[in-house]
């Protein structure tokens, strides 16, 4: 270690020492804040690019898990309402795996590893960080969810006419589950706990979403009603009907949207709390 540029030290020694009052009179201008939408777009883009580096294998796992479950359930259910529930549940499970489980793990890891400091020392609105990450994770689920829904429709010979409803189901249940995942990841006091909560949330989405509702005991049915992914599952399941009840589908999706807004607000609050101690 020899090649370092020498710094001149003499001037600072002879300099008089003001006690801070000189600077107090005229505060320096502040650099501009980053505005919400541009910084949200920047976070979203950065998060999407992470998929290329780190997330691809897990996205495959999410899809294969759902396809595997449908293949297994094919021997158990025999068409009709139950088949619709299985296909819809498996499709939304991909969203739960990625948006809830992986996002909870990501924020838990970011918080434990001091990564939140990076964002907290930039003039970026907390909502931009949370929404950008949540939107990116919801986007990661698109290929897997579409693939699962189509595969399921083929396996159980369901009509694919109304599968376009995924255009609403993925972002809305994505918002609800990603908000939940982000809030869990940011609120969990320890990283392992964030991982555990994410896994539990996904397991709940698996069991309560894929198993047909009318076969569940009553208390488990209530838990099912409390889980936000249920409403995405219900909306998708009803779209397989020959003439879907669009009113009910709209209502279920509205529940997803409300849960999404609430959970993302909680996650933003949790981020603010986690970033500055």
Partner 1 sequence: MSTGTAQAQSDTGTVCAVRDLVKTYPAVRGRRGAPATPEVRATDGISLDVERGEIFGLLGPNGAGKSTLVRQLTGLMRPDSGSVEVLGHDLVRHPERASRLIGYLGQESTALDELTVSLAAETTGRLRGLHVREARAERDAVLEELGLTELAGRPLKKLSGGQRRLACFAATLVGDRPVLVLDEPTTGMDPVARRAVWAAVDRRRAERGATVLLVTHNVIEAETVLDRVAVLERGRVIACDTPSGLKEKVAGEVRVELMWRERAPLDVPEVAALRPSAQESGRRWVLRLSPDEARAAVAAVTGGAAFAALDDFTLATPSLEDVYLALGGDAANASKGLVKA
Q: Residue 273 interacts with partner 1 (CB under 8 A)?
A: no
Q: Residue 12 interacts with partner 1 (CB under 8 A)?
A: yes
Residue with tokens 């397989």: 240
Q: Residue 157 interacts with partner 1 (CB under 8 A)?
A: no
Give the span between the Cα atoms of 264 and 257, in whole angstroms. 10
- Burial, 146: exposed, middle or buried (Cβ in 10 Å; 0-12, 13-18, 19+)? middle
**Near partner 1 by CB under 8 A: residue from 70, 88, 100, 116:** 116
Q: Closest by alpha carbon to 233, among 164, 157, 149?
A: 149
Residue range at the interface with partner 1 (CB under 8 A); choices 75-83, 122-130, 170-178, 237-245: 122-130
DSSP string for residues in 131-180:
HHHHHHHHHHHHHHHHHHHHHHHHHTT---TTGGGHHHHHHHHHHHHHHH
Q: Residue 131 interacts with partner 1 (CB under 8 A)?
A: no
Q: Residue 8 interacts with partner 1 (CB under 8 A)?
A: yes
Beta carbon nearer to partner 1, 86 or 274: 274
Give the span between the Cα atoms of 190 and 111, in whole angstroms. 9
**Near partner 1 by CB under 8 A: residue from 43, 73, 92, 264:** 43
| Residue count, binding to partner 1 (CB under 8 A) | 59
Task: Compute the least distance from the CB of residue 21 to partner 1, in Å.
Answer: 9
Inter-residue contact 52 to 110 (CB < 8 Å): no
C-alpha triplet 258, 260, 235: angle, nearest 5°: 70
Task: Compute the least distance from the CB of residue 138 to partner 1, in Å.
Answer: 18
Q: Residue 139 interacts with partner 1 (CB under 8 A)?
A: no
Q: Residue 46 interacts with partner 1 (CB under 8 A)?
A: yes
Inter-residue contact 179 to 131 (CB < 8 Å): no
Give the span between the Cα atoms of 261 and 111, in whole angstroms. 22
**Near partner 1 by CB under 8 A: residue from 85, 93, 100, 110:** 110
**Near partner 1 by CB under 8 A: residue from 57, 75, 78, 114:** 114
Question: Binding residues for partner 1, per CB under 8 A?
Answer: 1-13, 15, 17-20, 22-28, 30-35, 38-39, 42-43, 45-46, 49-50, 53-54, 109-110, 113-124, 128, 275-277
């Amino acid at each position: 270690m020899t090649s370092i540029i020498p710094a001149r030290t003499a001037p600072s020694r002879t300099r008089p020492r003001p006690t801070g009052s000189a600077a107090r009179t005229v505060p320096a201008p502040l650099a501009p804040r980053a505005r919400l939408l541009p910084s949200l777009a920047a976070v979203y883009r950065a998060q999407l690019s992470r998929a290329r580096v780190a997330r691809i294998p897990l996205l495959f796992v999410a899809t294969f898990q759902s396809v595997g479950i449908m293949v297994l359930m094919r021997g158990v259910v025999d068409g009709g309402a139950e088949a619709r529930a299985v296909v819809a549940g498996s499709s939304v499970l991909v969203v739960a795996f990625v948006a809830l489980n992986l996002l909870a793990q990501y924020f838990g890891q970011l918080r434990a590893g001091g990564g939140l400091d990076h964002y907290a020392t930039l003039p970026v609105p907390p909502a931009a960080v949370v929404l950008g990450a949540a939107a990116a994770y919801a986007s990661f689920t698109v290929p897997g969810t579409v693939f699962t829904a189509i595969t399921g429709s083929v396996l159980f010979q369901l009509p694919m006419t109304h599968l376009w409803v995924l255009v609403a189901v993925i972002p809305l249940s994505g918002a609800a589950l990603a908000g939940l995942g982000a809030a869990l990841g940011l609120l969990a006091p320890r990283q392992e706990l964030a991982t555990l909560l994410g896994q539990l949330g996904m397991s709940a989405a698996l069991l309560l979403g894929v198993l047909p509702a009318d076969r569940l005991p009553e208390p488990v049915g209530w838990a099912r009603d409390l889980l936000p992914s249920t409403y995405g599952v219900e909306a998708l399941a009803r779209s397989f009907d020959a003439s879907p009840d669009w009113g009910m589908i709209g209502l279920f999706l509205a529940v997803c949207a409300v849960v999404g807004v609430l959970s993302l607000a909680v996650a933003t609050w949790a981020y603010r709390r986690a970033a500055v101690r």
